[in-house]
Amino acid sequence: MTYRLLHVSGETMTVKVPGCGIDPEDKGAYKALTGAMKYALRNTFLIPTGNDPERFEEAEVVVEDEVVEDEVETDADDEVEADETPAGAAAFEALARQSGLDPDTVRWYHAAILGKDPTKGDAPSDYPLPKLVKTIEWYVSAAERVDAEIGKLRDSFRAAFFAKWGALHPTPSKADLPDDGERTAMLTSIETSRRLLCSSWYGTASLKDIGTRAMLKSERNLRWLRGVQIDEFEAAVVAELESIRAEASALLEEGEPGDARDGDS
């Protein structure tokens, strides 16, 4: 949602906030609109929450040593106990993506930073729907904090990868290779190989853009990079690059003009 705030002086300010609402009947859109406006006003003007005039139940989200008390909306006419059925992985992923969040990032942050133990039912997908909605809302509000931690994780991953890659492909100095043209050609070849390798292993040529799942769940993840010996790393790199080049060669052969003519005949 986008709100434009106007002042009598003529100054304006645009506020953009996400809105997310889930309801088994027809109140989902209303909850999304109301939640977005509340969030915009509360954070723009630093309004203390206090006790909401509507009925709420408190739910806690623990962040390191800090406890953030959130509110979970309940139906004023509902006298039965809240449904504690886990929302499930599908609901969690749908809510996260609708709110602009990466589910894998939320899972990692929940376990690694908040110290939640998925084996004890502490994963977001194990929460009942009202608590899950409030948890997702908290992640939206804490986007900068989460991004900062992901940045640290990505820095650690890049450092681990380039430590191994640099040992395997040291940058040639002018003393080692006086000819500028030859040195430039070698550097270009090394960088091309690295980009091909990263695209194959992690789905991106630039490790600045690598996703959380690739860093933590791929076959060549952060744990593997930190523990692998240089000879094993070299063998994995050589095997992967040979496979990439073999596939490229096969594709080129399939696309030769002679093959096309045979097919046309």
Q: Is the pLDDT at 173 greater than 60, yes or no?
A: yes
Structure tokens of 196?
A: 């091909």
**Each residue's pLDDT tens digit, 220-250:** 999 999 999 999 999 999 999 999 999 988 8
Q: What is the DSSP string of 77-141?
A: T--SPPP--B--HHHHHHHHHHTT--HHHHHHIIIIIS---GGGT-SGGGSBHHHHHHHHHHHHH
Q: Is 264 or 3 the better-scoring residue by pLDDT? A: 3
Confidence of residue 6 (pLDDT cuts 50, 70, 90): confident
**Each residue's pLDDT tens digit, 33-84:** 777 777 776 676 666 554 443 433 333 334 344 434 444 444 444 444 556 8
| pTM of the model as a whole | 0.61
Give whichever of 4-8, 27-31, 80-84, 141-145 has the largest mean pLDDT: 141-145
Q: What is the mean pLDDT of the segment spanning 3-7?
A: 72
Chain CA centroid to CA 89, Å: 16
**CA 70 – CA 36 distance, rounded (Å):** 15
Confidence of residue 132 (pLDDT cuts 50, 70, 90): very high
What's the pLDDT at 221?
94
Q: What is the mean pLDDT of the segment spanning 187-205?
A: 95
What's the pLDDT at 174?
81
Q: Is the pLDDT at 164 greater than 90, yes or no?
A: yes
Helix-helix angle 230-254:180-202, to 10 degrees: 90
Share of the chain above pLDDT 90, in %: 51
What's the pLDDT at 81?
53
